[in-house]
Structures are given as C-alpha cells and as structure tokens.
A and B are shown apart, each in its own frame.
Chain A
Amino acid sequence: GDSVTQMEGPVTLSEEAFLTINCTYTATGYPSLFWYVQYPGEGLQLLLKATKADDKGSNKGFEATYRKETTSFHLEKGSVQVSDSAVYFCALTLDSNYQLIWGAGTKLIIKP
C-alpha cells in the first residue's frame, strides 16, 4: 500500500548545523508531497510542497526536492536555528483521492 517513511527522531543538532531529515515514499500513482511542521504547543502548518517530479519546494530556508527515481523528498536546511525546534511530518496525497498519508514525524531539537 501507499506509505511514507521518515527517519526516526529525535534529531539533535547544534545551532548553524546543516539539517537533513529523510523521507521516502511508496505510492501507486503520482503523489503530491508535503512537509508539515508542528511547533511546540501549536497545530500543524504546511512548510513546503512539491506536486511533480523534480519540483523543489522551499520556505523559511528549508528545501526539499521531489525525486521520483529514488522516491524521496528529503528536507534540508543549510543553517538551523533554535527556533527551528519542532516536529516535522512528511506526507503525500494521490490524485485518485485526497486523503493525506503521513509519516510518523521527526522531532528536531536545536541546541544553542
């Protein structure tokens, strides 16, 4: 079945470090891919998205490229800040329906 797999957390980094959170997917069709972020005490927010192969989504210094050949959508940021500490969810939706399929979430902890 369709699924999303994220790297397990928590991921702990120092401020200004480079971040990668891996996300791979399995889908029978051609999904749209999303990264959502949940800051402490808040609801989910869409961080970025990509709707077709080779698209790059970007927002707030975060980037992710839709790689069809490796079925991946890894989240990256060049220099993280303490304020980036949150839980990050990778998700996909297929054209045939609009139910989101979620990864388990990766908790990111940035230390000053």
Chain B
Amino acid sequence: EVQLVESGGGLVQPGGSLRLSCVASGFTFSNYWMSWVRQAPGKGLEWVANIKEDGSAKYYVDSVKGRFTISRDNAKKSLYLQMNSLRVEDTAVYYCARDAIYYYSSGSYYKRLDYWGQGTLVTVSS
C-alpha cells in the first residue's frame, strides 16, 4: 500500500523558517518525481514545487522561488521542503504527492498526482 506521511508543520513567525518532511512507503520512491502542493485555509489547491527522481531537476511556483528549496533522500525514501523567509500568505496545509508520469505505447504520456499524504499545517503568524 502506498503511503506518504508528512511532518514538520507548526506555528512560525513571519521571516522564520521551517522544514517539512514526507516519508514514503509502498513503492519504489527513487523511480518517481515528487511534488509539494499547498492549500490555504478555505482556498483552492496550489502546486508549490517538484523534483525529479534523482534530484537533478527542481521546479517552483514563482511565489516561493528563492525562499523554498525542495530536496529528497532516496536512501531514506524521504522528500523535504525547506521554507525560509516565511510570509503570512504561506499559511496553508502542505501536502506531498507522488508526481507520476506514464507512457502509452504510442509514445505519448500522461501525468498524475496519484497519491497524497494527509498534509501538515503551517501557520505563519506573529
């Protein structure tokens, strides 16, 4: 059974830092891209960042570039999100998700965020 378990959320002051972790089980972690997605209270979903299977490529939404860093440790089957210079607007539940790409026999592909963790709440407030 695929499981993703996040941790590390909490209350932090504006300008502070926090490191989120996500531990994976039930699949070969090193074979998949992984993403972080967040959801502010009462709002929709916002994709934050993703990372390639071997960590060699990373992408971010503009609003977190230069402040957040995504990383992974395949030996520990773990995904991380280092969040610095936190702002009130970063308050959200943060989910990790498996970011899977599959190929049809024709060579075309499809992608899906097919498994999600339960989320961890980050609150940025003074």
> Is B truly associated with A?
no
Binding site for A on B (CB under 8 A): none
Give residues in A with beta carbon < 8 Å to B.
none
